[in-house]
């Protein structure tokens, strides 16, 4: 039986793809590399992947009525993950369902050479060897090793078979001139390549932040330490679920692990293609990659089963990952080029946090400092050059635009700032576009303004009796209109419901409770923390005073809170450029104490106490005045 094949064209991209009958529109979009938002992993419940069928017919679907208005259904809106293709189709992806390039955070706070000096993971050493004579007739490889050791000291030098094969001719045909590419692996050096003549001028590396949503890669000149360029893309794994948990469920169920590994490898290969094309660097001159990601992403990258990560007692396959040849997992750089994955601390404190810790130098100084990475999980690390503790709390998707009626990622058209003054509500959208939804920072602003203006109480409940044209009650749930239908991109009102606020309070409560638990665990007060670094995409749009005012961040001097952008990428680059930075990562991974909050009663108590605006214990937030 041959399968029928149909063509699906996606607008406005005008990208077409031919697929087998029965493929879903979401799968077709992924094949066409058109990115559709998808929070629930294709379960048909989040409603974020809606698209409009503009030509062709599809079967009506069950979930549609619950998620779409009658109007929408008439217009041809369907859930792309639930809609099978049985004829040629033309599909319009509305802006709210689209993952935008602008979501990719390639920026960092710190940019240049690591503090410990340039000592890259992969080095090229040009050697002019003295030719052998009867008085000096050691073997070819010993001759090479002898000269290398003069340059790197007498560490043990591992020499794989491929470096020996044809070495004899290489040396004799090139007047004993050869370039050795060597890489550090834990306590020893390894020769990756022995190339004829002097190729030492070209030696590149790649720092990669393997994020759940986006993958960002920096091309780095390993000779100078300079960043040549940076590119980002969506994590292709989004097709298997927006968040880590959905993808784990996919990988551990029928779908299996391989498609998730292939997706992330494909992402990295595409970024390599873009970077090498744009900057005219041959990909075979890339000799090392350092990748940082959370524990699950690191497992996906290396093809390790992540299934036990999400089940008590939360055990990953590995926290420390072996240095491998990038080609072992299908990444296209030099055939002998290596890939290091920044080690994790535990199932929910990954290499991204370890990289973040080294990026802001927490482990380098005597002062106690902290790192907060806020996303679906809130990860917190606190310490100094003598000790480090960390924990992770599930914050839910609220800060990333999920779990709320009109939530969206921080992309074009997202309301990122809100103020209410004298009964007047003002908002600002990303790119000054017509509003399409509210992103995390907008939601924080919103809650702050609602409570400050007495529209909601400290418990997050609306004062139902309040006279406010923006306040309405639907299905017995109060909601507040932020943007009226005539202002928005799609003509629907943008509202915040009491349930949304409830979700958001749980999210901020979890993050604060985690910070507080950790601070209590180490027996310090907030005022004893010199600096809190705030990492992640979320950070850059955040109004600190409002984040404090709703009880998300501790009530300390605002100058003590610093945004550091993509610290995972920074840490990966530092480890690429400095062997001692990578060693630090390993030490941090081994020595940082992880407090498992799911088993930690003080956290549960703190969480309950934090489900209030700003907190049930107002003494913790002396500066908050509403």
Question: Could you list the residues that contact a copy of itself (CB under 8 A)?
Answer: 132-134, 136-143, 156, 158-161, 164-169, 172, 186-187, 302-308, 312-322, 324, 328-329, 346-347, 596, 598-599
Residue with smaller CB distance to a copy of itself, 156 or 467 = 156
Q: How far is the CB of 133 from a copy of itself (least distance, A)?
A: 5
**C-alpha angle with apex 251: 245 to 257, nearest 5 degrees?**
135
Q: How far is the CB of 191 from a copy of itself (least distance, A)?
A: 10
The residue whose two tokens read 């020996």 is 164
Residue with smaller CB distance to a copy of itself, 106 or 593 = 593
Residue with smaller CB distance to a copy of itself, 282 or 330 = 330
**43: buried, middle or exposed (CB in 10 Å: 19+, 13-18, 0-12)?**
middle
* Cα–Cα distance, 187 to 178 (Å, whole number): 25
Residue with smaller CB distance to a copy of itself, 133 or 432 = 133
Beta strands in 30-107 (DSSP E): 50-55, 77-79, 89-92
Residue with smaller CB distance to a copy of itself, 77 or 300 = 300
Phi and psi torsions of 457, nearest 5° = -90, 180
* Cα–Cα distance, 84 to 56 (Å, whole number): 12
Residue with smaller CB distance to a copy of itself, 159 or 238 = 159
Q: How far is the CB of 172 from a copy of itself (least distance, A)?
A: 7
**123-136: string of b/e by CB count within 10 Å (b at 16+)?**
bbbbbeeeebeeee
Local structure of residue 212 (DSSP, 8 states): S
Q: How far is the CB of 295 from a copy of itself (least distance, A)?
A: 9
Residue with smaller CB distance to a copy of itself, 145 or 616 = 145
Residue with smaller CB distance to a copy of itself, 14 or 133 = 133
Beta strands in 211-343 (DSSP E): 214-221, 227-234, 286-293, 324-325, 338-341
Q: Which two tokens stand for residue 316?
A: 């990953």
Q: How far is the CB of 135 from a copy of itself (least distance, A)?
A: 8
**411-428: string of b/e by CB count within 10 Å (b at 16+)?**
bbbbbbbbbbeeeebebe
Residue with smaller CB distance to a copy of itself, 258 or 277 = 258
Q: How many residues does the chain have?
A: 626
Phi and psi torsions of 607, nearest 5° = -65, -50
Q: Is the C-alpha dihedral spanning 189, 191, 192, 198 positive or negative?
A: positive
* Cα–Cα distance, 37 to 49 (Å, whole number): 5
Q: How far is the CB of 160 from a copy of itself (least distance, A)?
A: 6
Short-list 471, 478, 513, 474, CA closest to 616: 513
**C-alpha angle with apex 156: 152 to 158, nearest 5 degrees?**
105
Query: DSSP alpha helices (H): ranges in 165-257?
Result: 167-173, 244-252
Residue with smaller CB distance to a copy of itself, 143 or 516 = 143
Q: How far is the CB of 303 from a copy of itself (least distance, A)?
A: 5
Q: How far is the CB of 168 from a copy of itself (least distance, A)?
A: 4
Q: How far is the CB of 243 from a copy of itself (least distance, A)?
A: 20
Phi and psi torsions of 382, nearest 5° = -135, 140
* Cα–Cα distance, 4 to 2 (Å, whole number): 6
Residue with smaller CB distance to a copy of itself, 189 or 462 = 189
Q: How far is the CB of 546 from a copy of itself (least distance, A)?
A: 36
Q: How far is the CB of 387 from a copy of itself (least distance, A)?
A: 19
Residue with smaller CB distance to a copy of itself, 152 or 458 = 152
What is the SS3 assignment for 446?
A: helix
Q: Which two tokens stand for residue 496?
A: 């915040």
What is the SS3 assignment for 587?
A: helix
Count CB atoms within 10 A of the CB of residue 362. Answer: 24
Q: How far is the CB of 182 from a copy of itself (least distance, A)?
A: 15
Distances from the Cα of 377 to the Cα of 187, 306, 353, 542, 608, angstroms: 34, 17, 11, 17, 18
Q: How far is the CB of 302 from a copy of itself (least distance, A)?
A: 6
Residue with smaller CB distance to a copy of itself, 232 or 306 = 306
* Cα–Cα distance, 31 to 27 (Å, whole number): 6
What is the SS3 assignment for 207?
A: strand
Q: How far is the CB of 347 from a copy of itself (least distance, A)?
A: 8
Residue with smaller CB distance to a copy of itself, 138 or 433 = 138
* Cα–Cα distance, 162 to 72 (Å, whole number): 62
Count CB atoms within 10 A of the CB of residue 278. Answer: 12
Residue with smaller CB distance to a copy of itself, 164 or 620 = 164
What is the SS3 assignment for 74?
A: helix
Q: How far is the CB of 130 from a copy of itself (least distance, A)?
A: 12
Q: Which two tokens stand for residue 206?
A: 């790649």
């Amino acid at each position: 039986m041959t399968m029928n094949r149909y063509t699906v064209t996606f607008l406005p991209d005008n990208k077409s793809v031919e697929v087998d009958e029965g493929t879903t529109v979401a799968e077709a979009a992924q094949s066409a590399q058109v990115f559709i938002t998808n929070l629930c992993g294709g379960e048909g419940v989040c409603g974020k992947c809606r698209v409009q069928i503009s030509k062709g017919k599809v079967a009506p679907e069950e979930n549609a009525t619950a998620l779409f208005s009658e109007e929408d259904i008439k217009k041809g809106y369907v859930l792309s993950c639930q809609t099978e293709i049985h004829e040629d189709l033309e599909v319009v992806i509305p802006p709210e369902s689209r993952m935008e390039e602008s979501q990719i955070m390639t920026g960092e706070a710190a940019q240049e050479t690591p503090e410990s000096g340039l000592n890259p993971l992969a080095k090229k050493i040009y050697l002019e060897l003295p030719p052998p004579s009867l008085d000096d007739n050691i073997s070819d490889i010993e001759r090479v090793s002898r000269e290398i050791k003069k340059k790197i000291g007498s560490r043990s030098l591992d020499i794989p078979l491929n470096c020996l094969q044809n070495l004899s001719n290489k040396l004799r045909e090139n007047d004993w001139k050869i370039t050795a590419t060597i890489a550090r692996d834990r306590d020893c050096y390894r020769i990756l390549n022995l190339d004829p003549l002097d190729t030492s001028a070209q030696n590149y590396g790649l720092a990669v932040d393997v994020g759940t949503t986006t993958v960002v890669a920096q091309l780095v000149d390993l000779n100078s330490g300079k960043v040549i360029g940076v590119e980002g893309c969506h994590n292709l794994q989004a097709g298997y679920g927006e968040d880590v948990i959905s993808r784990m469920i996919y990988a551990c169920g029928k779908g299996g692990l391989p498609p998730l590994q292939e997706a992330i490898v494909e992402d990295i290969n595409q970024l390599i293609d873009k970077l090498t094309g744009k900057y005219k660097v041959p990909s075979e001159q890339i000799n090392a990659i350092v990748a940082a990601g959370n524990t699950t992403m690191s497992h996906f990258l290396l093809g390790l089963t992540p299934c036990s990560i999400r089940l008590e007692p939360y055990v990953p396959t590995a926290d420390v990952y072996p240095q491998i040849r990038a080609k072992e997992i299908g990444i296209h750089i030099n055939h002998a080029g290596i890939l290091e994955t920044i080690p994790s601390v535990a199932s929910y404190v990954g290499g991204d946090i370890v990289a973040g810790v080294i990026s802001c130098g927490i482990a380098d100084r005597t002062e106690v400092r902290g790192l907060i990475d806020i996303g679906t999980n809130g990860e917190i690390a606190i310490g100094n050059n003598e000790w480090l503790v960390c924990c992770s709390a599930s914050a839910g998707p609220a800060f990333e635009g999920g779990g709320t009626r009109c939530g969206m990622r921080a992309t074009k058209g997202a309301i990122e700032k809100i103020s209410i003054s004298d009964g007047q509500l003002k908002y600002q959208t990303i790119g000054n576009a017509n509003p399409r939804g509210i992103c995390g920072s907008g939601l924080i602003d919103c809650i702050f303004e609602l409570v400050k203006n007495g529209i909601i109480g400290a418990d997050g409940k609306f004062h139902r009796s309040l006279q406010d044209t923006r306040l309405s009650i639907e299905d017995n749930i109060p909601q507040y209109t932020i943007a009226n239908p005539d202002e928005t991109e799609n003509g629907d009102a943008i509202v915040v419901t009491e349930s949304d606020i409830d979700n958001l309070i749980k999210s901020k409560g979890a993050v604060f409770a985690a910070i507080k638990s950790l601070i209590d665990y180490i027996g310090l007060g907030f005022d004893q923390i010199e600096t809190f670094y705030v990492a992640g995409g979320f950070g850059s749009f955040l109004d600190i005073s409002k984040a404090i005012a709703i009880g998300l961040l501790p009530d300390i001097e605002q100058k003590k809170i610093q945004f550091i952008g993509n610290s995972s990428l920074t840490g990966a680059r530092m480890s690429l450029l400095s062997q001692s930075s990578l060693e630090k990562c390993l030490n941090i991974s081994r020595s940082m104490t992880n407090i498992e909050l799911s088993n930690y009663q003080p956290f549960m108590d703190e969480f309950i106490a934090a489900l209030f605006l700003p907190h049930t214990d107002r003494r913790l937030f002396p500066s908050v005045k509403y």
